[in-house]
Amino acid sequence: MAKEKDVILMFDKPDFVVKLHEYVLEVDLKEGVKKKLEAFLESDQLAKKSLGFIFQVVVPLDVWLKDIESVTIDKNGATQIAIPGHKDISIPLELDESKKLVSKLNELIPIAKRKDMKEREILKKMQIKL
């Protein structure tokens, strides 16, 4: 997806890696059957759209920041991400890691939403002119 140099914040855990980019949050599993399933869903956009919601509990997928409704920290210190129309994502991080991630997400999400709104306005104006 995005280049490694574009990573704003990263947590490398034993079973997964969390990478926060300017407009996308990636949660990638490292090994095993889940990793193979994740690779399949990431490589096949049709499968991702049709099956992605089924596997969201098992395999976290990339999340556009503009699509995130809210981020919180649960009682165990994990980061909870609410996405309208989808099952919430829980990222099992240490409390200090979750605090860093939630803080940065709360900073970047409004920027991503504004950018998306501007792009939609531009597209709407372009369609009217056509």
Quick: pLDDT tens for 83-94: 998 878 889 999
> pLDDT (tens digit, 9 = 90+) per residue, 1-35?
445 568 999 999 888 889 999 999 998 877 764 66
| CATH code of the domain containing 118 | 2.30.29.30
Distance CA 79, CA 100 (A): 10
Domain that holds residue 43: 4-129
The SS3 of residue 80 is: strand
Q: How many domains does the chain have?
A: 1
Which pTM does this prediction carry?
0.72
Q: 41 pLDDT exceeds 80?
A: no
